Amino acid sequence: MHQKENDKNNGPFARLAHVSVVVDDIEKAVHYYESLGVGPFAPPSNHEFSAGFYLEKPLNSKLTIREADIGGITLQLVEHLEGDCVAKDYLDRKGTGVYHLGFKVDSVDYAERTLIESGVGVLQKGRRMDNSGYTYFDTEAQAGVTLEIKQVPEKDEDRESKGA
């Protein structure tokens, strides 16, 4: 399973899961996207990140997220509420826009280690008690956007496979 993620054709950036757009006003953005026929968006979910690191400092941030499925890829709208994180950094430097692409991996720890060994730096990361979680990489200068890998908890995998 892990060897597959290390193969160039099936590496950690082989399974695009979501495109994440940071916005100033999430409800206004949802209304606009839905007026264009994109959606429907799931109800808002508030996320507090404290079990992780941003630029090697303890993470303490809050975001509101709304998601819609577009042909099997999730469009993720993100409104920054407080604290330092990748979303706030992007918003401060560039304003609203696509700030990361999220890729699904089988093992976030394995994929992260492989990328670090190949010279890719880490911007932000967080893990859950079951070792699932995410890592944002310092790829904007070379890739034009920040790349994220994400391992979802097994219970969420089961729900996704049943179409929930």
Instruction: Output the DSSP codes for 21-76.
Output: EEES-HHHHHHHHHHTT--PPPPPEEEEE-SEEETTEE--EEEEEEEEEETTEEEE
Q: Supply the pTM of this predicted model.
A: 0.87
Domain boundaries, the chain: 2-161
Q: What is the pLDDT of residue 8?
A: 54
Given a cut of 70, whether residue 161 has pLDDT beyond it is: no
Query: What six digits make up the tokens of 2?
Result: 């892990």
Summarised one tens digit per residue, pLDDT across range 53-106 is 999 999 889 999 999 999 999 999 999 999 999 999 999 999 999 999 999 999
Query: What six digits make up the tokens of 93?
Result: 């430097």
Is the separation of the CB atoms in 44 and 26 below 8 Å? yes
In the chain, the percentage of residues whose pLDDT exceeds 70 is 88
- Work out the average pLDDT over 107-130: 94
Q: What is the pLDDT of residue 162?
A: 35
- Work out the average pLDDT over 115-138: 93
Q: What is the pLDDT of residue 5?
A: 47
Total Cβ atoms within 10 A of residue 102: 20
Q: What's the CATH superfamily of 2-161?
A: 2,3-Dihydroxybiphenyl 1,2-Dioxygenase, domain 1 (3.10.180.10)
Q: Which of 106, 112, 100 is nearest to 143 (CA)?
A: 100
- Work out the average pLDDT over 12-20: 97
SS3 of residue 132 by DSSP: coil
Given a cut of 60, whether residue 6 has pLDDT beyond it is: no
Query: Distance between CA 87 and CA 157 in Å, rounded?
Result: 25
Half-sphere exposure of 64 (CA within 13 A, CB side): 13
- Tell me how far apart the 2 most distant CA atoms of the chain are, in Å: 45
Q: What is the pLDDT of residue 156?
A: 59
- Any bridge partners for residue 54, and if so which? 57, 124
Of 36 and 162, the structure prediction assigns the larger pLDDT to: 36
Q: What is the pLDDT of residue 163?
A: 38
Q: pLDDT-based confidence at 50, cuts 50/70/90?
A: low
Of 46 and 9, the structure prediction assigns the larger pLDDT to: 46
- Any bridge partners for residue 65, and if so which? 45, 78
Side chain identity at residue 57, one-letter code: K
Query: Distance between CA 53 and CA 42 in Å, rounded?
Result: 27
Q: What is the pLDDT of residue 26?
A: 98
Query: Distance between CA 88 and CA 61 in Å, rounded?
Result: 9
